[in-house]
Structure formats: C-alpha cells, structure tokens
Amino acid sequence: MRIGLVGLGDVAVCHLLGCAQLGGVTVVAGADVNEQQAVAMAQAHGFKPYANHRDMLERETLDLLLVLTPASHHLAPVVDALERGLHVLCEKPLAASMEDALAIKYACASHPGKLIYGSVSRYLPTIQRARDMILGGAIGAVRLVTESIIGGSGLENALTLSAAHYPTGAPGGTGMGLMDHGIHLVDIVPWMMDTTLVGAFARSNRTGEPLVPEYFIADYANGASLHLLYDDEGTFATDLPGQGLFNARYGGWASPMPGPIGHYDPSPGHINVYGSEGALRIYHYANHLFHFDAGGVHKIPVDGHAMPDHFARQIEHCRSVIETGATPSPGIGDGFRALEIVYRALGAEAVLA
C-alpha cells in the first residue's frame, strides 16, 4: 500500500510511526506548505517532499492519502484525492465548518474513493476493552460517562490554536478542548454503548476570543448521559501526587516521542463510565483500565500498547477497506455526525443533509 501525507506536523509523526510498524506499507511522499518542514520530515522518514499536495497527487502513484492538516484545510486535499479515485484517511474533526463538511460528504457520494474518518481513539486498547465490557454487561446499564481536563499555567500563559486551525469567531480554542479533543468523545461514547443521541447542549471557546471553561452534555437513547468539562489552559490542576500513576504506554503522543514505558504521569487523562452494577476508569493513553464493583477494584488486562500502536491499527483498517471494499468504520457518516452534533449543541447554525 503506497501512502502520501498532506500536513507534516506532530500528528504526521504519529502516523509515520504507526506506518513503520506495518509490513507492506510504504510512505512514498508528503506535502506541507512549509517547504522546510516538508524537506526535514522527508529526510527523517525517507519519502519525497512536496510543497503542494496537488503536485504530489499529480506525480505520485498512491493508494491512500492521509489528510493531517489543521481542520480548516481538510477540504481541498480530501476532495482532490477523491476526484482522482484515491481513498482518504481524514484526521478529526472532519472540517472546521459545516459547509466544508457538507462539501466533503458530497464528494464522497460523487466519487468511488472511500473516506476513513480519523477517530483514532477507537483503536486504543483500553477503549476497545472497555467497549467489550460495556456491551457484555460487565457494569450493567450505563448511567453516566465523564471526562474532565482542567489545568495549565494560568490564562497569561495559555496556548490556543490559531485561525489556521479554526477560523476566527468559529468554535476553536485549545488543543485539549471541545473541538480538537472532545470531538473524540462525541464519536466514541455512543459507539462504546451501541446507542444513539437524544439531545445535547454545549459551550466552546471561539478562535480569537478570551478563553472560557467549556462543557458538553448529552443524553442518549439508552438512558446514559455524557458530561465533558474542559479548561486545560486557563487555570491550574488540583491533582495530588498520589493521583498519578506509572504509564504502560510506549512513548508520548507526539513528536519527539518522550518517556519509555513506566514513565510517571502526575495527571493522567482518563474517562469514567458509571453503570448500575459497576464502573470503569479508562486511562486511555496511559494504557490502564480499572473495573469497580461490589467486590472492589480490579485491574483489567489489555492487549497491546497505546501510542503509536493505535495509529498502526487505524492504517490496518484503511488497508482492509481498500483490499476488501468494506465500508469504513468510522467513515464519512461518523465524522459528519460528530461535527454536526457539536455545532447543534452549541446552538450554531448547522447545515443539515
């Protein structure tokens, strides 16, 4: 399988490390508007650099294009690739506006190439194991799912994503906020419970505006509720030293890959799932899973590592789609729906199809 990349930042490093774990997969080219970045990445990872994705598509023979640019720049490379009959893996979120998302959806319906939606969290070992337990009834009926990411170094030191990622005035904010991170949970939580959304409301940061705490609250047909709370840059964390743990992951999540297995994480991100007969705490990147019930606390074994293995698993799914003609899961419908849910929850005008 011959792969090309568009967008050669930290997320590209994650995908390249995942590709390197697979046999029969070759990254042949990569494009980035920053020509120096393209050349440096090409030299480090052994592919041909381009400053323009259209030149790359014209000159290279590819089976799959990975679109890893900021969300506001997904539309052109996705559509250009689909028009050439290529399959596409598009990073989350699908787009930075519903108008762009609709254009991508139309292109998918108009051309034979398939789009795989880059909700890579679905491939994390702890998420997959937790889903099996939930659907198997291990914690009874799910009542509540929560995630909170709160911390940072105060507002004066806050780092926000620029208008190159999300347009000025549009939902945006920080790298671990609702649009750039919480969109994962909007996708994976109903998938983990095999249910559908009933309703949601939310508040998000907007590009170019002062940071505020963000939230997303949703109710599902199975009676469960999802509560997300984010303020990852505007204040300080209150985690105590004893709340950290030694991770079981390989490296960190991005470039350069810091920390071996066993690195101590003082504030590991986690998802809580509360059920009628038990509960789960999912340390999705630290790669730990705990089951709580009347018998106490149980450490649940999981197969494989998190980073960068889950990127490799995602590429394997892409290969399966290409070789068998299977329907991508997650695909264009999942990516479109996740973005639409967030926009509707925010009370923003969403174009529906």
Q: What is the pLDDT of residues 265-318, one digit of tens each?
A: 777 889 999 999 999 999 998 899 999 999 999 999 998 888 889 999 999 999
Alpha-carbon distance 320 to 334, whole Å? 18
Sign of CA dihedral 289, 331, 190, 91: positive
Amino acid identity for residue 11 in this structure: V
Check pLDDT > 70 for residue 102. Answer: yes
At residue 261, the pLDDT reads: 57
With a pLDDT cut of 70, the percent of the chain lying above it is 93
Question: What's residue 249's pLDDT?
Answer: 52
Q: What is the mean pLDDT of residues 4-20?
A: 95
DSSP letter string, 66-111: EE-S-GGG-HHHHHHHHHTT-EEEEESSS-SSHHHHHHHHHHHHHS
Q: Residue 348 pLDDT > 80, yes or no?
A: no
| Average pLDDT, integer, range 73-90 | 98
pLDDT recorded at residue 248: 61
Please give the pLDDT value at position 11.
Answer: 94
Q: What is the pLDDT of residue 250?
A: 46
Q: What's the pLDDT at 31?
A: 98
Model pLDDT for residues 222-271, shown as the tens digit of each residue: 999 999 999 999 999 998 888 887 766 544 444 334 445 566 777 788 99
Encode pLDDT of 138-176 as tens digits.
Answer: 999 999 999 999 999 999 999 999 999 999 999 999 999
For residues 88-101, give the mean pLDDT.
97
- Whole-model pTM: value is 0.93
Q: What is the pLDDT of residue 252?
A: 46
Q: What is the mean pLDDT of the chain?
A: 93
Tell me the angle at which helices 98-110 and 75-83 cross, rounded to the nearest 10 degrees. Answer: 10
Nearest to 3 by CA among 77, 61, 73: 61
In 179-295, the DSSP E strands lie at 197-203, 214-220, 225-231, 245-246, 264-265, 271-275, 279-283, 288-293
What's the mean pLDDT in 207-214?
96
Enter the tokens of residue 334.
């999942």
| pLDDT given at position 256 | 37
